[in-house]
Amino acid sequence: MGSEGQAPVKLSVQSAVGAAAEGKVEAQRVHEVSAPSRAKRMDLNGVNIYYGKFLAVEGVNLPIEPRAVTAFIGPSGCGKSTVLRTLNRMHEVIPGAYVTGEVLLDGQDIYASNVDPVNVRRTVGMVFQRPNPFPTMSIYDNVIAGLKLEKGRRIRKSETDVVVERSLRGANLWNEVKDRLKAPGAGLSGGQQQRLCIARAIAVEPEVLLMDEPASALDPISTLAIEDLVHELKTEFTIVIVTHNMQQAARVSDTTAFYNLAGIGQPGKLIEYGPTQEIFSSPREKQTEDYISGRFG
């Protein structure tokens, strides 16, 4: 908790990735090979999310600041994961799902008719609740899977070597796996697999990183490792994280958005959002206070 708020200070005095790798001698190369931060802001304007005829989430207006962590909290079924999945058009994978309203990425509506969802997902990366490395691929191949999609198979080994090292260092996994990059990714522990998935997501240098309860399937030690990582990553990426764990939201996020639903079958709504400090110390809404004080949910 003590380190919260320090990362932005570092950002002002040195390069974005430098802050992430600070204090790690072996991470010096990171400075040389990483691209400058391209983090973008997102804005949701009057977003309604439907599954077929069912209105799942109603009327979301929310700014998401670049180079900061925005946490989505709320009880199960309130639509926080649904909102997250609209940010990279992943909810469209479910047949019949669609969105009305605007989701802006640096001012451009990602649901405009001339926008390809494939390109949106290359810009807005995602990490899922359960670690999902490709089981048939090695650690190395998992990391460059997205890169291969983008650039085709004709990509030089020297180039991928650099990306693999940078991404695994970025995900704080390099030291644990550098001697077995050819081993299957599915052979790692749960926490390592999740960091591998983060490395895979950041290897394509997205502008926004979405995390859907990334630590909920992990033990406390691995959870801490992921939280530390989120702290470091926010110097380079815009991060949106869904969490069931309110302490986690308090620890990692700069902004917190609280979602709730009036009842079963009712659409979820964004109740309020604001700086995490304020949401947790003096929320404006009664139901936010009830939720974060543990009175329901």
Q: How far is the CB of 62 from another protein (least distance, A)?
A: 21
| Closest CB to another protein among residues 129, 277 | 129
Q: Shortest approach of another protein to residue 140 CB, angstroms?
A: 13
Shortest spacing between CB 206 and another protein, in angstroms: 9
Give whichever of 200 and 251 is closer to another protein, judged by the CB atom: 200
* Smaller CB separation from another protein, 45 or 136: 136
Long-range contacts of 95-99 (CB under 8 A, 24+ apart): 96/50, 96/51, 96/52, 97/49, 97/50, 97/51, 97/52, 98/49, 98/50, 99/47, 99/48, 99/49, 99/50
**What's the half-sphere exposure (Cβ side, CA atoms, 13 Å) at 18?**
12
* Shortest spacing between CB 119 and another protein, in angstroms: 7
Residues that bind another protein (CB under 8 A): 88, 90, 93, 95, 118-119, 121-122, 125-126, 128, 130, 132-138, 145-146, 149-150, 184, 186-187, 197, 200-201, 204
Smallest distance from another protein to CB 260, Å? 26
Cα 121 from Cα 118, distance rounded (Å): 5
If the CB atoms of residues 194 and 276 are measured against another protein, the closer one turns out to be 194
Nearer to another protein, 104 or 201 (CB): 201
- Structural contact between residues 142 and 134, judged by C-beta atoms closer than 8 angstroms: yes
Which DSSP symbol is given to 138? Answer: B
CB of 129 to another protein, least distance (A): 9
What single string gives the DSSP state of each residue in 228-277?
Answer: HHHHHHTTTSEEEEE-S-HHHHHHH-SEEEEEEESSTTSPEEEEEEEEHH
Nearer to another protein, 125 or 191 (CB): 125
